[in-house]
Amino acid sequence: MSDLGDFTDFDPDDEGDPPTDGGQETTTGTSDGASDGAVDDSTDAGQDTEAPTDTAADPETTATTAASGPQEGSDGFEAVEVSPAGVDSGLGVVSATEGLRISEDSQETELRAYVTVENRSAVRIGKYLLVPYPDGERLFCRITALEYAQEFRADDATEIHARRAMRQDGIDEQDFKFVATLEPVAVLYSEGGELKRRMTDRVPKPETAVREATDTGEIKTGLKIPAEGVFLGHLAVGGETVRTAAEPPTIDYRLKDDYADGDPLVFRHTLVAGGTGSGKTHTAKNVLRQYLADGRTYPVADENREASPCLVMFDPQDEYAQLHDDNPDIDDAFARRLEREGVAYGGVEDTVAFVPEVAGASYAASDHRAEQVAFTVPFSMVHDNPWLIAGSSLNGNQYNALKHLLGRFRRQHGGDATYRQFTSFLDDPALREELDETGRVHEATFNAVKRRALGFDGIFDQDARPITDLVHEFVRAGGVSVVPTYHINNSRSTATVVLALAALLVDQKLSNDPDYPRIEETPLVLGLDEAHNFLAEADSVQGERIIGKFTEAAKQGRKERLGLFLVTQDPQDIAEPVFKQVNTTVVLNLGDEDAISAVNIPPSLEQKVPYMEKGQMVVYSPDNSEPVELVGLPECLTDHE
Ligand SMILES: Nc1ncnc2c1ncn2[C@@H]1O[C@H](COP(=O)(O)OP(=O)(O)OP(=O)(O)O)[C@@H](O)[C@H]1O
Ligand SMILES: [Mg+2]
């Protein structure tokens, strides 16, 4: 660099700023304006001179020049000067021609790099680059735009130009400037031997060589990716994993999972959104599998110990009980790779399918070997959550009447009385009359409530153990409890079962005086596939209660160790208050515009979403890292069919 630097410093003065852009293309002293051939070669050589920065690429350029450029000799020293200095290869240099400014206001930031000819075909929007400062600090940035601009003032929109161009293979790159617009991400600096980042607070010098970031440490620091945590995938740009010289050459993206700096992100909630068949379940299983890794534990409230989390997964397609089984497609080589990278894989032995017993629905386990335990929802659970039988159309007045009726029923028949008893209780004309006469519940209201409440036959108190008797089996540290609902082909029954169980978990988790301390003391990940079916904004008492409960769960979950893990193809349908509590959003391919804008990710990620192939995802987790694009693992870490 130094030897060439001499020439760079020296040339402009020396040549007295020869024709056009002589300053930069020093060698063009040979008169640019001349014949085509001459221009080609001289500019080509010019690149070489400028290449103090590009040493690695230089020999190549030189070779090309030599091969195609009979005039090379006319440039004199260039060919010789260029080869030595063994510095990093670069893509080009920072250009101040159209402004060079780092500003507090990102709108006013102007940072561009001139990209040298041989690098042009390789640069891509999204790539990560480094621009060094003279004192060793580096500006870490991303390419946000690429453009060709004219090098020489010539009109290429003319007949003669077009005809000539059509006869040629490609263009004369030297006739154009190729400029990359860069977005500064962070300044990297070393302190006490450790690489750190800070906000972009200084401007790089013009003509500084710009190189691609290829060092794992620099990239991870630049993007603020935690070194430890839950593995989500490998860093990528445009669907290609970012490669480094290290082994492995890929960069693992992890989600913070300790208390060093706020609460683990699992308890600050995750959303996986993607269109049909985009790989949501595959991705969800791979992430969830990491939470079930040996040794992953979280402190237990008020106790001096740590516990593994329990995953409770509501499973509309009967896919998650396969978490129990190994994926037969994972071969030894892939397994070694996973081990090297600290990625947990293989079936989780302690996976149990809790099968809701619902009249008219029988469960035939599809392709999994997990144990099955049948359960029923006891009507007694409705006392804590009357909205479970409110249906979706009771108004406030009617809901109060329902609560009144339930209270009275409980006093008369006890807390364990059944749904059938409740229906005969409502069937009593004397009761209706009395309530009407005393002005407690108007007759019409009574009838409306009764109509609603009678539609739950076959759901409560079926022939299986009540879930409330099974809490110790259902919630197990380190275990997976899957609740398949595919066999229930009635959406109201499904919603009632799912919401009853979710409410039980949430209520107990958040209660100061829980009936089931087991729930309270076990770190819990509550997974909901097709979450839009349960958490849609609804204009009814029931809808309000559900959303209220989940919002509360999400807000308090942080400190109570309750993480929501929502999977959906219709993120736009998930109620805003719940949505707002989600810290980590993983987005797979989404085609629907409303869905894309609903996930609320930065525009740079948003525009990639419709083009992503299976396995590609973008992750927006502002408390974890800069927004990134990843490629997920091609194999599911447990069975997935
Ligand atoms: N990263 C990936 N690499 C290779 N194959 C994948 C990847 N992700 C998913 N697949 C495969 O694509 C298919 C669909 O994936 P998956 O079931 O996860 O999609 P989904 O979004 O959950 O679909 P649905 O909308 O039906 O629920 C599966 O066969 C899965 O194995
Ligand atoms: Mg799925």
Question: CB within 8 A of 249, min separation 6: which ones?
Answer: 243
Nearest to 496 by CA among 483, 508, 507: 483
Task: Tell whether ligand 1 has an atom less than 6 A from the beta carbon of residue 119.
Answer: no
User: b/e string for 427-436 if b means 16 or more Cβ within 10 A?
Assistant: eeeebbeebe
Element (H, E) at 180: strand 176-191
Residue type, 69: G
Give the pLDDT confidence score for residue 123 in this predicted structure: 92
Tokens 């149990």: give the residue: 352
SS3 (DSSP) at 511: coil
Of the ligands numbered here, which is closest to the C-alpha atom of 631? 1
Contact assessment for residue 132 and residue 208, using Cβ atoms and an 8 Å cutoff: yes
**Residue 635 Cβ contacting ligand 1 at under 6 Å:** no
Per-residue pLDDT reduced to its tens digit, 593-603: 999 999 989 99
32 CA to middle of ligand 1, Å?
57
- Two tokens, residue 316: 């509309």
CB 50 within 8 A of CB 25: yes
Q: Are 322 and 348 in contact (CB under 8 A)?
A: no
- Is the CB of 281 inside a 6 Å radius of any atom of ligand 1? yes
The amino acid at 133 = Y
pLDDT of 214 reads 92
Does residue 238 surpass a pLDDT of 50?
Answer: yes
Q: What pLDDT score was predicted for residue 411?
A: 97
> If pLDDT is split at 50, 70 and 90, which confidence band does 174 have?
confident
Q: Would you say domain 92-223 falls under CATH 1.10.10?
A: no
Please name which of 617, 528, 614 lies closest in space to residue 575, comparing C-alpha atoms. 528
Exposed/middle/buried for residue 217 (C-beta within 10 Å: 0-12, 13-18, 19+):
middle
Q: Is the pLDDT of residue 74 over 70?
A: no
Average pLDDT for 489-503: 93
Q: Is 585 exposed, middle or buried (0-12, 13-18, 19+ CB in 10 A)?
A: buried
Shortest CA distance to 387 belongs to which of 537, 578, 549, 516?
549
Which pLDDT score, from 0 to 100, does residue 166 have?
83
Q: Is the pLDDT of residue 306 over 90?
A: yes
pLDDT at residue 92 in the model: 95
Residue-wise DSSP of 476-487: -TT-EEEEE-TT
List the end-to-end C-alpha distance of the chain, in Å, as a whole number. Answer: 56
What pLDDT is recorded for position 334?
97
Which residues lie below 8 Å from residue 58, measured CB to CB, with a gap of 6+? Answer: 48, 51, 82, 83
Is the CB of 634 inside a 6 Å radius of any atom of ligand 1? yes
- Give the residue with greater pLDDT, 188 vs 302: 188
The residue-averaged pLDDT of 545-559 equals 92
C-alpha 91 – ligand 2 centre gap (Å): 42
User: Could you read off the pLDDT of 459-477 as tens digits, one per residue?
Assistant: 999 999 999 999 999 999 9
Every domain of the chain with CATH number 3.40.50.300 lies at 262-378+461-589
Q: Whose CA is nearest to atom 5 of ligand 1?
A: 634
Distance CA 43, CA 24 (A): 10
Token duo for residue 15: 């040549």
Read off the pLDDT band of 522 (50, 70, 90): very high
Separation of alpha carbons 180 and 94, rounded Å: 9
| pLDDT score, position 194 | 95
CA proximity to 284, closest of 525, 480, 499, 527: 527
Greater confidence, 531 or 42?
531
Q: Name 355's bridge partners.
A: 374
384 vs 161, higher pLDDT: 384
Whether the pLDDT of residue 66 is over 70: the answer is: no
Residue 445, ligand 1, Cβ within 6 A: no
For residue 73, name the pLDDT band (cuts at 50, 70, 90). very low
Helices and strands, counts by H and E, the chain: 20, 23
pLDDT class of 557 with cuts at 50, 70, 90? very high
In this predicted structure, the answer to whether residue 226 has a pLDDT above a threshold of 60 is yes
What's the pLDDT score for residue 613? Answer: 96
Rounded to the nearest 10 degrees, the angle between the axes of helix 443-453 and helix 429-437 is 140
Q: Between residues 515 and 300, which one has the greater pLDDT? A: 515
At 4, the pLDDT band (50, 70, 90 cuts) reads: very low
Cβ 279 under 6 angstroms from ligand 1: yes
- Contact criterion met (CB below 8 Å) for 320 and 529: yes
pLDDT category of residue 429 using cuts at 50, 70 and 90? very high
Q: What value does the mean pLDDT take over residues 582-592? A: 96
Distance in angstroms (rounded) separating the CA atoms of residues 79 and 69:
12
Separation of CA 286 and ligand 2 centre (Å): 13
* pLDDT digits 0-9 by tens, 122-138: 899 999 999 999 999 99
> Is pLDDT above 90 for 363?
yes
pLDDT tier at 77, thresholds 50, 70, 90? very low
pLDDT for the residue 150: 77
Residues 265/235, Cβ–Cβ less than 8 Å = no
CA of 178 to the centre of ligand 2 (A): 44
Strand partners, 115: 92
pLDDT band at residue 501 using 50, 70 and 90 as cut-offs: very high
Distance in angstroms (rounded) separating the CA atoms of residues 65 and 83: 13
Please tell me the predicted confidence (pLDDT) of residue 266: 97
How far is ligand 1, taken at its centre, from the CA of residue 283, in Å? 8
Q: Which ligand is nearest to the CA of 275?
A: 1
How far is 388 from 410, CA to CA, in rounded Å? 16
Give SS3 for 358. Answer: strand
Top pLDDT among 245 and 569 is at: 569
CB neighbours of 318 closer than 8 A, spacing ≥ 6?
A: 365, 366, 484, 486, 487
Contact (Cβ atoms closer than 8 angstroms) between residue 618 and residue 609: yes
What confidence tens digit (pLDDT) does each residue in 339-349 have? 999 999 999 99
pLDDT digits 0-9 by tens, 318-334: 999 999 999 999 999 99
pLDDT at residue 284 in the model: 98
pLDDT band at 88 (very low <50, low <70, confident <90, very high): very low
Arithmetic mean of pLDDT, 363-382: 93
pLDDT of residue 419: 97
Can you tell me the mean pLDDT for 230-256? 95
% of the chain with per-residue pLDDT over 90: 73
Architecture of domain 262-378+461-589: 3-Layer(aba) Sandwich (3.40)
* Coil, strand or helix at 524: strand
How far is ligand 2, taken at its centre, from the CA of residue 277, in Å? Answer: 7
Looking only at the bridges linking them, the beta strands covering 230-237 and 628-631 are: antiparallel
| pLDDT score at 487 | 95
With contact defined as beta carbons under 8 Å apart, do 199 and 234 qualify? no
Higher confidence at residue 113 or residue 52? 113
Scan for tokens 């169980």, then name that residue: 501
Q: Whose CA is nearest to atom 9 of ligand 1?
A: 279
Ligand 1 in reach of 638 Cβ (< 6 A): no
Helices (H), 319-395: 332-340, 381-384
Q: Is 557 in the pocket of ligand 1 (CB under 6 A)?
A: no
Nearest CA among 45, 20, 23 for reference residue 31 = 20
Segment 209-219 mean pLDDT? 95
- Predicted pLDDT at 499: 94
The mean predicted confidence, pLDDT, of the chain is 86
Could you tell me how far CA 160 lies from the centroid of its own chain?
A: 51
Residue 380, ligand 1, Cβ within 6 A: no
**The pLDDT of residue 165:** 80
Q: Side chain identity at 587, as an amino acid letter?
A: V
Q: Cα–Cα–Cα angle for 575, 579, 583, nearest 5°?
A: 175
Mean pLDDT, range 271-278, rounded to an integer = 96
- Angle at CA 478, nearest 5°, toward 474 and 480? 50
pLDDT interval class at 574 (50, 70, 90): very high
Mean pLDDT of the 433-453 span: 94
Residues of the chain with CATH 2.40.30: 92-223
CA dihedral 15, 21, 27, 33 (to 10 degrees): -100
Centre of ligand 2 from the C-alpha of residue 278, in Å: 8
